[in-house]
Amino acid sequence: MRLGYTNVIRYPAGYIAWREHYPDLQVCETRSHRLQPGQYFPPCVLTAADRTNDFAYLGLQQESANFFLADVAAEFVLLKYYGEHCHQCVQEVEQYSRLFSMLRNDPELGQRLKMIGIGVGDNQRSVLRFKRSHQVPYPLLPDERQLMFESVGAGEIPLLYLVRILPDARVEVVQYHEGGLEDVDGLFALIKKAVTD
């Protein structure tokens, strides 16, 4: 049976040894505290809402619309948690669209970093509606059951995570920002420093 995943890692010593060797790398689970820099992002399954365009941008080629963050063809991923009915998230759409353009057009970041929006509590239909009505240029993915959100400690949106995809497919948290976006240029500078250092 083919599930469409391309990044399958077999651990020779088996699952129990894998859990002991990577204690921070567990399947998506609810956390009671915010996921911090240096910790590992849980391997949650993501689903592309617009498979053709999202896969082209993220460099994915599997048959299924499902994938892991570690499958993304980039060294870093910027995750923007938002909600369709979050007033602040709606107000900041233009700012994040501008940030996306800055990241994509930067010669040092363009190929190394991808940006993804995670619709907290939103289904595929609402994600596509939000993308179309607000002309969001980066992929938006549904998190209807809020697994992605709860696995980083939930809390409040908007929420931003910068993660690094390691060679062994672990996804390490580099930095996060909770709350509103006050300075796009300042955030861009922080992200660029974190990626290029």
For 20-79, the pLDDT digits (tens) are 665 555 556 666 688 899 999 888 899 999 889 999 999 998 888 999 999 999 999 999
pLDDT in tens, 101-123: 999 999 999 999 999 999 999 99
- Residue 183 placed within a domain: yes
- Residue 109 placed within a domain: yes
pLDDT at 17 over 90: no
Rounded to the nearest 5°, which phi and psi values hold at 15?
A: -65, -45
- Residue 10 placed within a domain: no
Packing angle of the helix pair 184-196, 93-105 (nearest 10 deg): 40
Would you state the pLDDT for residue 1? 42
- Residue 98 placed within a domain: yes
Residue 82: pLDDT band (50, 70, 90) is very high
List the domain range (segments joined by +) for residue 94: 15-196
How many distinct structural domains can be found in the chain?
Answer: 1
Query: What amino acid is encoded at 153 in this protein?
Result: G
- Residue 7 placed within a domain: no
State pTM to two decimals. Answer: 0.84
What is the CATH classification number for the domain harbouring 186? 3.40.30.10
- Residue 68 placed within a domain: yes
pLDDT in tens, 144-196: 999 999 988 888 899 999 999 999 999 999 999 998 998 999 999 999 999 99
- Residue 136 placed within a domain: yes
Q: 141 and 63 in contact (C-beta within 8 Å)?
A: no
